[in-house]
Amino acid sequence: MTQNFSPTRFDSFSIRNHSQCDFIQQILAYTFDSINPYDAVKKYLQRNSLLNSKRTFAFGLGKAAIAMAQAVADEISLTDSLIITKHASFSDLKLASVILGNHPIPGKESLNAGIEAKKFLSQLTKDDLLICLISGGGSALMTAPTIPLDKLQELTLALLKSGASIDEINTIRRHLDELKGGGVVQFANGAKIIGLILSDVVGDSFQTIASGITAPDSTTKEDAINILQKYKIKNEISSWKETLKADNPLFENVENKIVASNSTALEFACSQTRGVWGDEKVRIVNKNIQGEASVVGLQIAKEFKNALQIMQRPFCLLAGGETTVTIKGNGKGGRNQELALATVEELSGLENVMLISIATDGEDGPTDAAGAVVTGESYQRGKRLRMDVTNYQLRNDAFEFFNQLDDLIKTNPTGTNVNDLVFCFAF
């Protein structure tokens, strides 16, 4: 059984009207196919022997959980399974018990998911095997908080607005949730655990992806408290918990493996583009983009402009990772749109260039866009519509700027999630 979870079209005004439209769309589609979660898990299972156990269970958590769980179900006879995810079709509900949680702010559905997860784990014994299928979004989709839900929601919202990194946010989540920071291991009654992970964090840290439900945690509750102080967020919490550490004997029966990541996508995009243009025409300039989206965008645009002076066209620069946005205005957007907006003026007037910043899950911030496209004409097109780039930046209103230009990319949820990708094409 082969499943294609990548979007079928990558469309916008600038892509649609470019002479290399087919090439651009093909590179994007091939790249997204390379991080198909179903195929990633299937390849792992076909290449690796699993531990012998009387019973085998599957627990999926995250935006890619359904595809990952389907791959396991197609290869292994499962005793029982539970999937917690963000999006599911009616047909998906036939696979197993499927629960839809809330994202990016945990809600009542996420709370219910936490309750059901603990029930599911309670049936395990030390003679069983639990395959955990973990992907991005899991931190919000399931929660078993040590504080009231409304307080957790307030705290999460404040962190998201503050510009805190996902590593910092998940450090706090691990210390306020029974199932995070190795919590699933603690509830698994000594069962053997294999964690197959689709990484959505820079550096592929096990403790950060979905807040480390099957991983030891190197941070302490004091670290979590210091993060709140760093971002001047009031700490009225008394019920911080300490997480499981690497020396805990429970981890002797746990094995975690990355099955696909942002690097997977970058390397594949690189090989596909080189296959058309040649080895010297493609460079990965940064595998770990982090920090304020607008600052990173400007840095990438300047590097792109420098490359135009020394590289022969056509060529492509690639970058991947995850930025953050400190929200100061009342506009609408996401980190990819914000990054793209920061490049508009810098790339203005450059001939036949295109920058695409895109979220691999198809959901950039609280919008229905996956990302945005910038060309050397974007700035002037905006001026003709009486749009001042600086004002849109100050309002954090990248969505509306690119919406007016018809240069948002809307893929719908892709069913995968390995951070963000930036493509810089010079034709």
Could you give the angle at the alpha carbon of 249 between the alpha carbons of 211 and 171, nearest 5°? 20
Beta pairing, strands 353-359 & 371-375: antiparallel
Q: Do residues 346 and 301 touch, judged by C-beta distance below 8 A?
A: yes
At 164, the pLDDT band (50, 70, 90 cuts) reads very high
Domains in the chain: ranges and CATH = 13-33+263-426 (3.40.1480.10), 37-260 (3.40.50.10180)
Average pLDDT of the chain to the nearest whole number? 95
Percent of the chain with pLDDT strictly greater than 70: 96
DSSP 8-state class, residue 324: B
User: Between 96 and 14, whose confidence is greater?
Assistant: 14
Query: With 50 as the cut, is the pLDDT of residue 1 above it?
Result: no
pLDDT at 304: 98
CA–CA distance, 36 with 40 (Å, rounded to integer): 6
Describe the strand order of the beta sheet including 97-100 as a list of residue ranges: 97-100, 80-85, 55-61, 128-134, 192-198, 254-260
Q: Rounded to two decimals, what is the model's pTM?
A: 0.92
How would DSSP label each residue in 141-190? HS--BSS-HHHHHHHHHHHHHHT--HHHHHHHHHTTBTTTTTHHHHHTTT
Instruction: Evaluate the omega torsion of the peptide bond into residue 366 and state whether it is cis, within 30 degrees of 0.
Output: no
231: burial class by Cβ within 10 Å (0-12, 13-18, 19+)?
middle
CA atoms in the 13 A half-sphere facing the CB of 323: 33
The count of other CB atoms within 10 Å of the CB of residue 11 is: 17
364-378 confidence digits (pLDDT tens)? 999 999 999 999 999
User: Between 95 and 380, whose confidence is greater?
Assistant: 380
Please state the rounded mean pLDDT for residues 31-60. 93
86-135 confidence digits (pLDDT tens)? 988 655 545 579 999 999 999 999 999 999 999 999 999 999 999 999 99
CA–CA distance, 341 with 332 (Å, rounded to integer): 12
Q: Which bin fits 106, alpha (ψ -120 to 50), beta or left (φ > 0)?
A: beta
pLDDT at 4: 40
239-284 confidence digits (pLDDT tens)? 999 999 999 999 999 999 999 999 999 999 999 999 999 999 999 9
CA–CA distance, 340 with 325 (Å, rounded to integer): 12
pLDDT at 94: 54
Query: With 80 as the cut, is the pLDDT of residue 3 above it?
Result: no
Could you give the angle at the alpha carbon of 388 between the alpha carbons of 24 and 330, nearest 5°? 90
Q: What is the dihedral sign for C-alpha 200, 201, 204, 207?
A: negative
168-226 confidence digits (pLDDT tens)? 999 999 999 999 999 999 999 999 999 999 999 999 999 999 999 999 999 999 999 99
- 3-class SS at 275? helix
Query: With 80 as the cut, is the pLDDT of residue 9 above it?
Result: no
The tokens for 99 are: 């629960």
- The contacts of residue 119 (CB under 8 Å, 6+ apart) are none
